[in-house]
Chains A and B, each alone.
Chain A
């Protein structure tokens, strides 16, 4: 195995293109090193991306969104007060991945590229409308996060392509998000169901919504029908009931050792109500703070 330390994404792509064998990109390594050790993957070329300038940074974009580098860890996201204020749901999803030790290394890009339908950081990113910038032998392109995974362990990334950053859109006023998951234990476990809700209000009523469901299909699902069930409502009981029904209908889970399909569908309905409530309350709390600051 050859170990490379390129200092630009262009060089990283060139190394991958010239490899002729199996390549792996290394950022946090919390999945790659486990695969290496288990003998699931024996790369000929391991390309460490952490020496590329800017990859460990979280920066405000010109439009008021955020650009998260590919080596940014969960711990870093949790410490970034402005990012947490804008996107608490995105950050709390990532922070549920693994232990304190894993948070010191694991990255949301790695969580996405690992392709697990139960990846805790992915529903929050999908609900947020996050995108990834990609560089490959064919040049740069960009994808919505929900377009990246195609099934367990599989993505739409082509050979030699690398994600170069995640971008979050501007948060804007009267908006908030939340992520909830169900696990039998409170820590160190894999989601049986995960739900992310991202809302924008106009006064009391929901003007826009994006809802993403994790661990209930081969990929994280963007549940448009569930979002439609609450748009235009003040998230009253009728809206919450319609939301739960729509999200449950969208879920298409399997039964496995962590839960039956029926259980997962039911929990989807429970969590989507709770996550929507939290997101809605966060909008109101945030709007209250902003109005207080304006006075």
Chain B
């Protein structure tokens, strides 16, 4: 199987890797770049645990081939904190105990950041619809929604 050389930007840093064309972007992030924050829940685009932003667009990295990342900019959970400072969404998830096992959390944080980037003041309903493709089997979602709303409020206040 011929591997293809891929050059991309991940969390602002230039990266390159050799991808089997059958590998997903999620496989490449985890297995070639060592970025294991993005999780594989279902592998079929239903659960959102592998959410990343590609050129700013929220996607499931399990539904993107690694070779499709050529020349693109990818943002993952690993790029969310600034040095040792957690992103307000990450802090609010801890404060509200918006996670239990944590498997879905990276995907939900990435998805929530994508929402707040384009809509700093979402309604609860907008948050629920936006995150409908991020499944959590532990929390029942209530704490997650509250944490996102609270982080949005803090970010608006800080702006």
In the complex, A271→B9 CA distance in Å?
Answer: 47
Q: Hey, what's the 0/1 contact readout for A77-99 against B, CB within 8 Å counting as 1?
A: 00000000000000000000011
Q: Hey, what's the 0/1 contact readout for B85-98 against A, CB within 8 Å counting as 1?
A: 00000000000000
CB pair B21–A102 under 8 Å, yes or no, is no
B24 at the binding interface (Cβ < 8 Å): yes
In the complex, A48→B132 CA distance in Å?
Answer: 29
CB pair A33–B51 under 8 Å, yes or no, is no
CB pair A104–B58 under 8 Å, yes or no, is yes
B2 contacts across to A, CB distance below 8 A: 2
Contact of B62 among A2, A33, A73, A100 (CB under 8 A): A33
In the complex, A26→B130 CA distance in Å?
Answer: 26
In the complex, A150→B92 CA distance in Å?
Answer: 51
B59 at the binding interface (Cβ < 8 Å): yes
B149 at the binding interface (Cβ < 8 Å): no
CB pair A105–B67 under 8 Å, yes or no, is no
Minimal beta-carbon separation of B19 from chain A (angstroms) = 9
Interface residue tally for chain A (C-beta within 8 Å)? 25
A289 at the binding interface (Cβ < 8 Å): no
A36 contacts across to B, CB distance below 8 A: 22
Contact of B111 among A29, A33, A75, A101 (CB under 8 A): A101
B43 at the binding interface (Cβ < 8 Å): yes
Q: For chain B residues 48-89, which have a beta carbon within 8 Å of chain A?
A: 48, 51, 54, 57-60, 62-65, 67-68
Q: Hey, what's the 0/1 contact readout for A24-41 against B, CB within 8 Å counting as 1?
A: 001001100110111000
CB pair B67–A3 under 8 Å, yes or no, is yes
* Nearest-CB residue, chain A, relative to B114: A100
B120 at the binding interface (Cβ < 8 Å): no
A36, A50, A99, A187, most chain B CB atoms within 10 A:
A99
Minimal beta-carbon separation of A3 from chain B (angstroms) = 4
B63 contacts across to A, CB distance below 8 A: 29-30, 33-34, 101-102, 105
A75 contacts across to B, CB distance below 8 A: 57
In the complex, A73→B59 CA distance in Å?
Answer: 11
B44 at the binding interface (Cβ < 8 Å): yes
Q: Footprint of A on B, CB under 8 Å? A: 1-2, 4, 21-22, 24, 43-46, 48, 51, 54, 57-60, 62-65, 67-68, 111, 114-115, 129-134
Q: Footprint of B on A, CB under 8 Å? A: 1-3, 26, 29-30, 33-34, 36-38, 46, 48, 50, 73, 75, 98-102, 104-105, 187-188
